[in-house]
Structure 1
Amino acid sequence: MNNNQKSILITGGTGSLGKALTQHILKTKPNINRLIIFSRDEQKQFQMAQEFPTSKYPQIRYFIGDIRDYERLKRALKGIDYVIHAAAMKHVPIAEYNPMECVKTNILGAENLINACLETEVERVVALSTDKAAAPVNLYGATKLASDKLFVAANNITGWNPIKFSVVRYGNVMGSNGSVIPFFLKKRKEGVLPITDPTMTRFNISLQGGVDMVMHALEHAWGGEIFVPKIPSYRITDVAKAIGPDCEHPVIGIRPGEKIHEEMITMADSFYTYDLGKGYTILPATHKWKLEEYIDHFQATKVPIGFRYNSGENIEWETVESLRVLIRKYVDPKFEVK
């Protein structure tokens, strides 16, 4: 990426990942031309502008806008080279209760963004996915699967346009808004940490790990890939022990639309999945580039037919102690077990 000439737009830029990306981009690419934070929440933009003021970072612009609004998107994308798509409705129970709102943002918003990028001079688009998009059992996961399909297929309609669309899929981001660790840290003051199911597992990635995945895809994608990192899992019971070992841990049952284990690569995906060393990539069924050249370039190895990447069958696990170290490093530097 040429630091002096590129402009980047982040949809949903005021979220946990958006802010982490902003910090990373400003630190590693200080001469970037423009960095646009595109989101619909004026209060979050106001708060983010205190942290990243335009007086200190003149390359930043804050755009109020909704990905449901095609015309506003198109205007915001003028002069933009790279797009990171992080905007989404992501809370599972809220999506179950308000299904069409989730569809409008996560699916129709994705279509708007694709069309707006094709109509402007955007060169690369990386869309964020979720482990819930693999074999989805809830509406949020289903909308993100549809979104993934739209971004992968967008490479088929680019025509003369050299734009590349790709997707990054990973698990729970440690410490992100609405995730279990901040919830438990808050609840431990009450002495009760509710467990949905004692056998429940989740993939775990740090905010910086998520940022690194996005930046890798932005710079190395050939178009149409779904990138999946190799990351550890944790047991929900270990999270509870790490945060509140002396708390009560009542089992309350899983919420509507939840799984016991999450999956990032299904058995059906195994036909198109390759091991790249630090992660996997699910390749599109149709692509503009030659598969042999891709395999040679990335030294990719085909996974066995029937392979799946499941949080309950992972080979790498966080422990109670490693979770405490990560919480201090990424979530709360003052965290300690009382």
Structure 2
Amino acid sequence: MLEGSSILITGGTGSLGHTFIPLTLKKYNPRRMVIFSRDEMKQWEMAKLFKNDARVRFFIGDVRDKDRLSRALHGIDFVVHAAATKIVPTAEYNPFECVKTNVFGAMNLIDACIDQGVKKVVALSTDKASSPANLYGATKLTSDKLFISGNSYSGINQTKFSVVRYGNVMGSRGSVIPFFLSQKFLPLPITDRRMTRFMITLEQGVDLIWHAFKDMHGGEIYVKKIPSMGICDIAEAVSPGGEIQIVGIRPGEKLHEQMIGVEDAPYTYEYPGHYKILPAINGWNEDPLRINNGTRVDDGFIYSSDTNSEWMKVESLREWINNNQCKIGKI
């Protein structure tokens, strides 16, 4: 599907973009890959990595600017929406800015994609959008709902919108692993000993996006099955036998990550490697094409990091860290 196509990724200079772009160029050989973001320095640095690849283009712009989005989307077939205000405390203290990017930006992108006749859009979501306890999660839940509903009014262009949702990306910039590594000669700050997190690699996140593009009929939320880990085990993997210090949960932070809430269970189907939440609107949750041989989960089902059936061992994370030292925290 993606072979020979034109693909645009918003927020493309972030962690996801640094992995999605080279993997997609290698696997699908798209005709054009457009990186749309507002940070000129990140684009300047990223451009050096692809200076000999004529398929890669850079476009300065902000998802808050609908006109600029429309210009960038001209001739684009597929879009990955990764642009967002993501840091939980930052969103709590700067709520207006978070809403402008995560909600208004989503609305702008939906309208612009429909107007420009984009074929398919996959938007990135977060565990924090499931039963949100902070502003970031609330804005991403709103964004998810907007993308799902976008399928209802895409009109004759028939632009399709779907969502992928995943939790803590291992080793990404600003995440817990590079933070712990930067503190290795100091006590590691732990918010709460009971805290758990889902663990997913960027490569797994890219694979889920590829799957969504192939499988989607519009309105689905894709959730990959991934292992959980306790925060103290993550600390042990980074600094064996190291000292820890309990510092308390930050504003808006959850004790556990949740990908699928009990309210979504009636519309959720299970597959070998993932779950799929189907839209409750328009009867789409009963559409055989969207269900596609899935098995409906039990009533009351919750997919949460503390009750997960799959857990990552300390040794497995330590091995992953040792094999990925060169890129942890770099992107």
Query: TM (normalized to structure 2)?
Result: 0.96
Indicate which of 211, 221, 225 corresponds to 1:226. Answer: 221
By how many angstroms is 1:286 displaced? 2.5
Matches of 1:228 and 1:127 in 2, distance apart?
12
State the one-letter code of the partner of 1:206: T
Which residue of structure 1 aligns with residue 301 of structure 2?
A: 307
Of the three residues 149, 161, 164, the one matched with 2:160 is 164
Q: Which amino acid aligns with 1:3?
A: E
- Residue 100 of structure 2 is aligned with which of 101, 104, 123? 104
In the alignment, structure 1 residue 44 sits paired with structure 2 residue 42 = yes
Pairing 1:59–2:55 present: yes
What is the one-letter code of the residue matched to 1:212? D
Asked whether the 8 Å contact 2:73–2:116 carries over to 1, the reply is yes
Does the 8 Å CA contact 2:127/2:257 hold for their aligned counterparts?
yes
Residue equivalent to 1:17: 16
**Aligned-partner Cα distance in 2 for 1:324–1:95:** 31
TM-score relative to the length of structure 1: 0.94
Counterpart mapping for 1:176-187 below 5 A = 176-187=172-183
Question: Residues of 2 paired with 1:279 and 1:126: CA distance?
Answer: 16
2:278·2:290 contact (CA, 8 Å) conserved in 1? Answer: no
SS, match of residue 252 in structure 2: coil
Change (3 A) 1:324 1:266: same
Secondary structure of the structure 1 residue equivalent to 2:197: strand
Amino acid at match of 1:15: G
Deviation for aligned residue 1:288: 7.8
Secondary structure (helix, strand or coil) at the match of 1:169 reads: strand
**Superposed CA offset, 1:121-173 (max 9, x none):** 20000000000000011100000000000000100111222211000001111
Deviation of 1:292 (Å): 4.9
**Separation in 2 of the partners of 1:220 and 1:57?**
29
Instruction: Give the Å deviation of 1:228.
Output: 0.4
- For the residue of structure 2 that corresponds to 1:205, the secondary structure is coil
Give structure 2 stretches of 5+ with no counterpart: none
**Cα displacement (A) at 1:325:** 1.4
CA-CA distance at 1:52 after TM superposition:
1.6
Match of 1:207 among 202, 210, 215: 202
Question: Secondary structure at the residue paired with 2:152?
Answer: helix
Give the superposition deviation at 1:328. Answer: 2.4
**Partner of 1:157: helix, strand, or coil?**
coil
| Residues 284 and 290, structure 2, Cα contact 8 Å, conserved in 1 | no
- Tell me whether 317-326 or 120-129 shows the greater mean CA deviation: 317-326
Deviation at 1:301, TM superposition (A): 0.5
Q: Quick one: distance in 1 between partners of 2:83 and 2:327?
A: 28
Instruction: Tell me which residue corresponds to 2:169.
Output: 173
Amino acid at match of 2:309: I
User: Is there any run of 5+ residues in structure 1 with no aligned partner, and where?
Assistant: none
Q: Percent identity?
A: 56
Residues 100 and 155 of structure 1: CA distance in aligned 2, closer, same or farther (over 3 Å): same
Aligned to 1:85: 81
Distance in 1 (CA, whole Å) between partners of 2:53 and 2:210 is 20
Equivalent pair of 1:196/1:253 in contact (CA under 8 Å)? yes
Give 1:255 deviation, angstroms. 0.4
The amino acid of 1:266's aligned partner reads: G
Tell me the equivalent position of 1:260.
255
Length, aligned pairs only: 328
1:236 maps to what in 2?
Answer: 231
* Partner residue of 1:250 out of 199, 224, 245: 245
